[in-house]
Amino acid sequence: MTEPKHLSSVSRRTVLAGGAAAGALALSGGWSRVLAAPLITVESLTIDVNGKAAKVFAVKGPTGEGIFAKAGERLAGAVLNASQAPAVMHWHGQIFAPTDQDRARPDGGELAPGGTDQVDFLLTPGTHWMHSHTLNEQQLLAAPLVTREADAGEAQDVVVMLHDFSFRSPEEILASLGGANAHGGHGAHGAPQPTPGMAGMAMPGMTHAGHGMGAMDGVGGGMMATGQNAGHMGHGMGAGMGGGMMAHANDVDYDAFLANRRTLADPEVVKVETGGKVRLRIINGGTATAFFISVPGLKPRCVAVDGSPCVPVEAEAFPLAQGQRIDLLVDIPAGGGAFPVLAQVEASPRRTGLVLATAGASVARVAETADRPQGLLDLAFEGRLSAGKPIAQRKADKVFPIMLGEEAGYRWTINGRTYGEASPFAVSPGERVEMTFMNPTTMSHPMHLHGHHFQVVGIGGRRIAGAVRDTVMVPPHMPVTIAFDAGPKGEWFLHCHHLYHMATGMMAVVKIA
């Protein structure tokens, strides 16, 4: 396991802006061995958000928040829960070898306050992250888990961790949505286990054949888009989907949006070199918020999504759903300057971000509200992506239709069931699996599969050779098909990465046996 060390003047360095109350996450360059015990510590702490104290969590490695390594290294050491709450850690984006998965405890397992755990697994290269798999993820219990690729080159790395923040507890937020907390704890390999203090949280499950599949018949246009706090329309979702339904986002009214735990009222300013290249590693750690990423004044090109390389693509704004990551490469002009990296909330003018600045550059204040709102995330950009390392082409051994559902009482389902109500999706190691997600609900759902990367192979019924990911956005009325090869034996979660959709039912298990 390696950690970055501090260097002041090198061509290849890593700048990790932000951090806990003390300031920057890390300023580092080069990658050298620094090992401490425990390797990872979950802490409770207080930070300042717009002049008000906020109690949150932090996940700290030997040099600050997060873990930073290089390809070929292992995450090996102790995990200590030094907070006052149980923690269930998920290593998001990690692919475990069969020999590693028992030592990795891939889907966590509850770690009581004061408890320790041991992990030991080969790190998956790319921009990944780690986060709680309970409601306290909302309280910033998350951190980068970045493993620098062997072919990353000389670009300066800047890690940007996005969060949506509320002074309310996640239990209060869920109650305001009208939902019941159904999120149980998760044992090794994803087997559900009771979690103290989480009783009454029902997590949804799924069945193999899509219940109510006919609800997709005639699904077409007529959807109306809205932004903040649109009402839920979970009654009788199967009927009348052809017109008049209102697609919406942002069902939680957040107090702030953070980039490396700071708002644009006091953003992190990251020093960059004139004429240099910067690789922005952007992680959407938001629990219920999708963003559009932009870098005004520069020409960013996407070189990886969810830690997997893609054929470079340029855009003015890049969509980033909950749980997703995007790597953007930018060239800093020889003349220098200051360049904001902005994350604007879907269907809203609100935004957060940080600033890249060369030595001596004047840094102007960036407003926390854009001139106009962004629209809803769609799959236009996704359709432009193609994998840098696609999976092999082969016929699917198993095909599963997956109907995402919305019911009264803020109950979110997969194939008409909530977590624990249905049998897992059963596959065998090495089988090629295809899943087609269909979404007749009023909201988009970022669907994440634990322990695997998949390729997006279909959008709207059209076959494509898309990006390799671990989380894909499924908008209303737009089917999305993914393909993957079943990995190690075990039970792996498949769920919506909107925390409150997952907590009230939209989660299932892929059982590999």
Which pLDDT score, from 0 to 100, does residue 31 have? 34
Calpha distance 343→329 (Å, rounded): 16
6-15: per-residue pLDDT in tens?
A: 222 222 333 3
Which pLDDT score, from 0 to 100, does residue 1 have? 36
Q: Which CATH class is domain 177-217+385-512?
A: mainly beta
Calpha distance 83→276 (Å, rounded): 40
Give Cβ neighbours of residue 272 (< 8 Å, ≥ 6 apart).
15, 156, 158, 278, 332, 356, 357, 358
- In this predicted structure, the answer to whether residue 35 has a pLDDT above a threshold of 90 is no
Q: Please, which pLDDT band fits residue 19 given cuts at 50, 70 and 90?
A: very low
Lowest mean pLDDT among 68-77, 170-179, 199-208, 446-455: 199-208
- In this predicted structure, the answer to whether residue 43 has a pLDDT above a threshold of 70 is yes
Which pLDDT score, from 0 to 100, does residue 128 have? 98
* Long-range contacts at 211-218 (CB < 8 A, ≥ 24 apart): 211/403, 211/415, 211/416, 211/417, 212/238, 212/403, 212/405, 212/416, 213/401, 213/403, 213/438, 214/238, 215/239, 215/241, 215/403, 215/440, 216/241, 216/403, 216/438, 216/440, 216/479, 218/242
Q: What is the average pLDDT value for the chain, to the nearest integer?
A: 83
Which pLDDT score, from 0 to 100, does residue 98 have? 81
- In this predicted structure, the answer to whether residue 186 has a pLDDT above a threshold of 70 is no
254-302: per-residue pLDDT in tens?
A: 999 999 999 999 999 999 999 999 999 999 999 999 999 999 999 999 9
195-221: per-residue pLDDT in tens?
A: 222 222 333 322 222 223 333 333 333
Which pLDDT score, from 0 to 100, does residue 214 have? 31
- In this predicted structure, the answer to whether residue 233 has a pLDDT above a threshold of 50 is no
Lowest mean pLDDT among 4-8, 329-333, 383-387, 411-415: 4-8
| DSSP element (H, E) containing 171 | helix 170-177
Q: Please, which pLDDT band fits residue 189 given cuts at 50, 70 and 90?
A: very low
Per the DSSP assignment, residues forming a β-bridge with 79 are 40, 117
Nearest to 22 by CA among 6, 1, 45: 45
334-378: per-residue pLDDT in tens?
A: 999 999 999 999 999 999 999 999 999 999 999 999 999 999 999
